[in-house]
Structure 1
Amino acid sequence: MLTHIVFFKLHDKKDVGKVKQILESIEGNVEFARKVKVGIDVVHSKRAYDIALIVKFDSLKDMETYQVHPYHVDVVIKNTKDLIQSSVSVDFED
Structure 2
Amino acid sequence: MIKHIVCFKLKDNSEAECNKAAEVLMSMKGNVDLIKDIEVGVDFLHSQRSYDVILQVVLDDARALEDYQNDEYHCSVVKKHMHAVCETSVAIDYNI
Alignment of 1:1-94 (within 5 A): 1-14=1-14, 15-94=17-96
Per-residue deviation, 1:52:
0.3
Structure 1: stretches of 5+ with no match in the other structure: none
| TM-score between both structures, scaled by the size of structure 2 | 0.94
Structure 2: stretches of 5+ with no match in the other structure: none
Off by >2 Å, runs of 4+ in structure 1: none
Question: C-alpha separation between the residues in 1 aligned to 2:45 and 2:18?
Answer: 14
Question: Superposition RMSD on alpha carbons, in Å?
Answer: 0.7
- Three-state SS of the structure 2 residue aligned to 1:13 is coil
- Three-state SS of the structure 2 residue aligned to 1:56 is strand
Per-residue deviation, 1:80:
2.1
2:86 maps to a residue whose letter is I
Q: Deviations over 1:33-61 (max 9, x none)?
A: 00110001111111110010000001111
> How many matched pairs?
94
- Three-state SS of the structure 2 residue aligned to 1:81 is helix
